[in-house]
């Protein structure tokens, strides 16, 4: 496989991934390498372009990450972004100054060199996103200024001869309106790439890497019913076939029909070795009488580990554990160098006992959710699984407020199923990040026929979001809400009221707990 490879050099923090993702969106294969990567590696791998990412530090800070200055003499085109630009300028003899005050937020870039390939087709002015303290007061010899903002006279610089470029702003964020065009100018006009990489190639590459990592060994994967673990399992199954065993611990807190679907897809359709453990009674027993949300989570995590451990001990000779860790999980756990295992485990697996040691296989670590979905589609996973909204590890236990009982779960499942059915029927499912019903621990008065009722309300929650970190309520057409209300109060026993949660996040969270 000879891909056009572009490398994003990561100086820490979380800047690199978004750049890498933008590059992949432009159909160029992209990897993120640490700043300490030796130069030989760039030659060996035939790197076609280098992007130096932003970073949290000032180039003058003690211990600020540096690259081997030989990087600038490899003849590979380089684009330095923010910190990357400052570092390049410093190494090549420019003047980098700590600013009296930084520049943060939107700014207008004035393109002063429209003839240069980097800013070709942009401008004459265009909105960019700034976030920096230091700035380049004078670019290095051989460079010229390509664009400026009111506060930064050297907002974009370049040396077309050596194909070295720098921008002070962040082309990878959406607030830089023509960021994609700029990055594509770098990739296509400056690096001269074709941009013919596809998800199919990502899969080939990962399959090869998984085969290399696992060798003739065997692997275990816990399926949750969610997208990430489903895609990870399918990818590993493609790589090692029957040497993968999937463990589906059904905690009895899934949505209506979900457990059946997992079994149908993985056992019947993909013919994977699937162990289905119906542990619902055990989980419900453990949750009896518990009302505190944190306590519920703890119990579910603990029971999950116990069941997982019991099952894992029955299987012999398995050294590898497949996890559907995706990039946002890596960020949550404290950056790419942090321990991703900790976070996914916090969500799903938890700490396994010392003597039960696995080597982790995490083929989706570099991907964002929508990229994971694209991989899943390419692997032939059904749309119902691939396009599915995120679902929390503790499942419906955090959507039944107060004590979790089989009766309350049944009410919630029915209402939730109606809600989702109507959303799909209205063609709105894919516009929504997450939609679900919540059963609060209160009852209110209603009237049915001549009868006064005293029953539960159902809360509907539907939000739009890009990453779950912030969210806004989804604007339903009133007719859809009306239909949902009518069906829920008409057919779900013990429910006499339906309300719609219009809280954004922040200050609300997505889940109610
Ligand atoms: P909140 O409620 O914090 O949720 O706004 C943000 C996103 O995280 C999901 N979530 C969880 N996912 N285990 C998970 O795997 C959990 O314990 C958990 N709690 C919340 C939530 O559904 C939303 O997508």
pLDDT in tens, 243-278: 999 999 999 999 999 999 999 999 998 999 999 999
Q: Is 172 a catalytic residue?
A: yes
Find out whether the beta carbon of 395 lies less than 6 Å from any atom of ligand 1.
no
The answer to whether residues 484 and 410 touch, using CB atoms and an 8 Å cutoff, is: no
Query: Cα(498)–Cα(513) distance, rounded to whole angstroms?
Result: 18
- How many Å lie between the centroid of ligand 1 and the Cα of residue 467? 11
Ligand 1 binding pocket includes 434 (Cβ within 6 Å): yes
Q: What percent of the chain has a predicted confidence (pLDDT) above 90?
A: 79
Beta strand pairing call for 444-448 and 472-473 = unpaired
Q: Of 30, 82, 191, 221, which residue is the catalytic one?
A: 82
Predicted TM-score (pTM) above 0.85: no
Cα-based distances in Å from 470 to 332, 335, 509: 14, 19, 8
Instruction: Judge whether 30 counts as a catalytic residue.
Output: no
Question: What angle do helix axes 199-214 and 369-378 make, rounded to 10 degrees?
Answer: 90
What share of the chain in percent tops pLDDT 70? 95
Question: CB burial class (10 A; 0-12, 13-18, 19+) of residue 491?
Answer: exposed
Residue-level pLDDT, tens digit, the chain, 513 residues = 457 999 999 887 567 888 999 999 999 999 889 899 999 999 999 999 999 998 878 899 888 999 999 999 999 999 999 999 999 999 999 999 987 777 888 999 999 999 999 999 998 999 999 988 888 999 999 999 999 999 899 999 999 999 999 999 999 998 999 999 999 999 999 999 999 988 998 999 999 999 999 999 999 999 988 899 999 999 999 999 999 999 999 999 999 999 999 999 999 989 999 999 999 999 999 999 999 999 999 999 999 999 999 999 999 899 999 999 998 777 665 544 433 333 344 444 457 777 888 999 999 998 888 899 999 999 999 998 999 999 999 999 999 999 999 999 999 999 999 999 999 999 999 999 999 999 999 999 999 888 999 999 999 999 999 878 889 999 999 999 999 999 999 999 999 999 999 999 999 999 999
Can you tell me the distance from the alpha carbon of 39 to that of 34, in angstroms, rounded to the nearest whole number? Answer: 12
Q: Is the CB of 325 under 6 A from ligand 1?
A: no
- Taking each helix axis from N to C end, the angle separating 280-287 and 293-314, rounded to the nearest 10 degrees, works out to 150
Residue (of 360, 377, 273, 276) closest to 325 by Cα position: 360
- Best mutation site among 505, 511, 513 for ligand 1, i.e. most ligand atoms within 8 A of its Cβ? 511
What backbone phi and psi angles, to 5 degrees, belong to 33?
A: -120, 145
Distances (CA, A) of 359 to 38, 319, 347, 363, 402: 26, 6, 18, 13, 38
Residue nearest to atom 14 of ligand 1 (CA): 392
Q: Is the dihedral of CA 80, 86, 89, 94 positive or negative?
A: positive
Look at residues 54, 10, 56, 2 and name the one whose alpha carbon lies nearest to residue 31. Answer: 10
- Residue of 392, 461, 464, 512 best suited for mutating to test ligand 1, as the one with most atoms within 8 Å of CB: 392
Q: Please check whether residue 416 is in contact with residue 499, taking contact to mean a CB–CB distance below 8 angstroms.
A: no
**How many angstroms is it from 298 CA to the middle of ligand 1?**
14
Residue listed under structure tokens 């694209």: 374
- CA-proximal residue: ligand 1, atom 7 (nearest): 468
Catalytic status, residue 246: no
H-type alpha helices, 379-505: 383-386, 406-425, 478-491
User: What distances in angstroms separate CA 97 from CA 80, 136, 139, one per listed residue?
Assistant: 16, 6, 11
406-425 vs 478-491: helix crossing angle, rounded to 10: 150
| Token pair of 298 as six digits | 């703890």
Say how many residues make up the chain.
Answer: 513
Q: Which atom of ligand 1 is nearest to the CA of 513?
A: 2
d(CA 89, CA 96): 7
Strand 164-167's sheet: what is its strand order?
29-34, 5-10, 49-52, 78-81, 164-167, 156-159, 144-148, 103-111, 125-132
Query: Encoding tokens for residue 351?
Result: 């700490």
């Amino acid at each position: 496989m000879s891909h056009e490879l572009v490398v994003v050099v990561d100086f820490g923090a979380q800047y690199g991934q978004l750049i890498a993702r933008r590059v992949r969106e432009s159909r160029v294969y992209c990897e993120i390498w640490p700043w300490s990567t030796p130069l030989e590696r760039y030659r060996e791998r035939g790197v076609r372009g280098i992007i130096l990412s932003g970073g949290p530090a000032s180039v003058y800070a003690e211990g600020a990450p540096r690259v081997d200055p030989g990087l600038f003499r490899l003849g590979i085109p380089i684009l330095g972004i923010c910190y990357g630009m400052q570092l390049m300028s410093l190494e090549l003899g420019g003047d980098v100054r700590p600013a009296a005050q930084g520049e943060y937020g939107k700014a207008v870039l004035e393109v002063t060199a429209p003839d240069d390939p980097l800013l070709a087709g942009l401008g004459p002015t265009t909105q960019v996103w700034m976030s920096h303290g230091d700035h380049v007061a004078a670019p290095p010899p051989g460079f010229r200024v390509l664009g400026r903002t009111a506060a930064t006279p050297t907002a974009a610089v370049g040396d077309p001869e050596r194909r070295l470029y720098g921008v002070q702003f962040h082309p990878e964020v959406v607030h830089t309106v023509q960021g994609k065009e700029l990055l594509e100018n770098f990739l296509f006009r400056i690096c001269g790439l074709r941009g013919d990489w596809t998800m199919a190639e990502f899969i080939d590459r990962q399959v090869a890497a998984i085969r290399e990592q696992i060798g003739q060994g065997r692997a275990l994967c816990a399926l949750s019913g969610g997208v990430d673990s489903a895609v990870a399992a399918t990818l590993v199954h493609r790589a090692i076939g029957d040497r993968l065993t999937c463990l589906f611990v059904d905690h009895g807190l899934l949505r209506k029909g979900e457990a059946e679907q997992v079994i149908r897809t993985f056992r019947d359709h993909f013919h994977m070795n699937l162990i289905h453990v119906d542990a619902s009674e055990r989980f419900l027993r453990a949750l009896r009488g518990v009302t505190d949300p944190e306590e519920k989570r703890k119990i579910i995590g603990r029971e999950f580990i116990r069941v997982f451990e019991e099952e894992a001990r029955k299987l012999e000779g398995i050294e590898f554990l497949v996890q559907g860790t995706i990039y946002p999980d890596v960020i949550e756990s404290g950056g790419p160098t942090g321990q991703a295992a900790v976070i996914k485990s916090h969500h799903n697996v938890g700490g396994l006992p010392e003597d039960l040691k696995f080597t982790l296989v995490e083929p989706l670590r570099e991907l964002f959710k929508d990229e994971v979905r694209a991989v899943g589609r390419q692997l032939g996973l059904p749309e119902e699984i691939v396009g599915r909204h995120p679902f929390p590890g503790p499942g419906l236990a955090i959507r039944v407020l107060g004590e979790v009982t089989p009766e309350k779960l049944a009410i919630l499942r029915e209402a939730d199923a109606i809600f989702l059915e109507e959303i799909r029927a209205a063609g709105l499912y894919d516009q929504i990040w997450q939609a679900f019903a919540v059963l609060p621990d209160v009852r209110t008065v209603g009237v049915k026929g001549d009868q006064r009722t005293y029953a539960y309300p159902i809360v509907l929650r539907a939000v739009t979001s890009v990453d779950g970190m912030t969210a806004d309520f989804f604007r339903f057409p009133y007719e859809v809400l009306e239909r949902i209300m009518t069906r829920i109060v008409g057919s779900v026993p013990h429910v006499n009221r339906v309300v719609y949660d219009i809280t954004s996040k922040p200050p609300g969270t997505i889940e109610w707990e």
